[in-house]
Copies of this chain bind each other. A is one copy, B any other.
């Protein structure tokens, strides 16, 4: 089984509604995202033609357009957070979610944003999101 992964970075702020601790206030992370795809129809031998599972540049283009360009330099807050802090609704770079923007939920958002954009020869199989240098979340199909 062959897989290829491309790594992305985006700088995004968030806050967690209902959290008892410093994460309840708006703060940011330098997120590092690993996006992994595998062959939709794996075979065991060497790869013919140009020899790619998927061209890294195609993977980069899709994730940049669907995820990085949208989340980078945004503040993600939940509807619940804004209901309690209505003065924040005027923020220019606000992305409002129905759920809390934890690393886990960001992964699931990334998944739904990109899996439909993949070409038929591959499928999205794994996502990994570093929230800090020593904390990460993963989704696996």
Q: How many residues of A contact B (CB 8 A)?
A: 45
- Which of A66-74, A84-92, A98-106, A113-121 contacts the other chain? A98-106
Residues of B within 8 A of A108 (CB): 2, 45-47
Selected from B1, B5, B51, B136, the residue in CB contact (under 8 A) with A4 is B136
For this chain, the copies found in one complex come to 3
User: Could you tell me the distance between the alpha carbons of A27 and B35 in the complex, rounded to whole angstroms?
Assistant: 25
| A99 x B48 contact (CB < 8 A) | yes
Q: Which residues of B contact A47 (CB under 8 A)?
A: 99-100, 102, 104-105, 108
Q: In the complex, what distance in Å separates the CA atom of A79 from the CA atom of B1?
A: 25
| Cβ-based interface call for A135 (8 A) | yes
Query: Is the beta-carbon distance between B134 and A100 smaller than 8 angstroms?
Result: no
Q: Are B7 and A51 in contact (CB under 8 A)?
A: no
- Asked if A140 contacts B102 (CB within 8 A), the reply is no
A-B contact pairs, 27 of them (CB 8 A): A1-B140, A2-B104, A2-B108, A2-B137, A3-B137, A3-B138, A4-B104, A4-B136, A4-B138, A5-B135, A8-B134, A16-B50, A16-B51, A21-B57, A36-B138, A46-B105, A47-B100, A47-B102, A47-B105, A48-B99, A51-B102, A51-B104, A52-B102, A52-B104, A53-B104, A53-B137, A56-B135
